[in-house]
Amino acid sequence: MSKSKHQGHDIEYLNDKWVFSDTKKPILENSDRPCKNCGKKSTKEGHDSCLGKMSGVINACCGHGNEKEAYIQFVDGKIIRGKDAIEIQKSK
């Protein structure tokens, strides 16, 4: 069985679709589930609510409680990951 994470929640591939491990509800029909870490839903643009829009950033993720998964990708192509990304995110 394949496993992964979505918004900090454990997910698994079951019966040909990705579902939340705890509820077995399909992700596609329940994609607005709040972040397991901060409890906020994504913005209508799909950004992590705890980050909002960050100037000079193409995309970013707070890691949803997993420091190793946090990242920031800047317009110039530079990518910062992990603890350093979280520190930058907190300062914005």
User: Per-residue pLDDT for 30 more than 90?
Assistant: no
Q: What's the rounded mean pLDDT across residues 55-75?
A: 90
Q: What is the pLDDT of residues 46-63, one digit of tens each?
A: 778 878 778 899 888 888
Under the banding of pLDDT at 50, 70 and 90, the label for residue 1 is confident
Rounded-to-integer distance, Cα 18 and Cα 49, Å: 23
Q: What is the pTM of this model?
A: 0.71
| pLDDT score at 65 | 84
Query: Which has the closest alpha carbon to 16: 29, 1, 5, 31?
Result: 1
The residues, ordered by sequence, that sit 6+ positions from 82 with a Cβ below 8 Å of its Cβ are: 67, 68, 70, 71
CA 68 to chain centre: 12
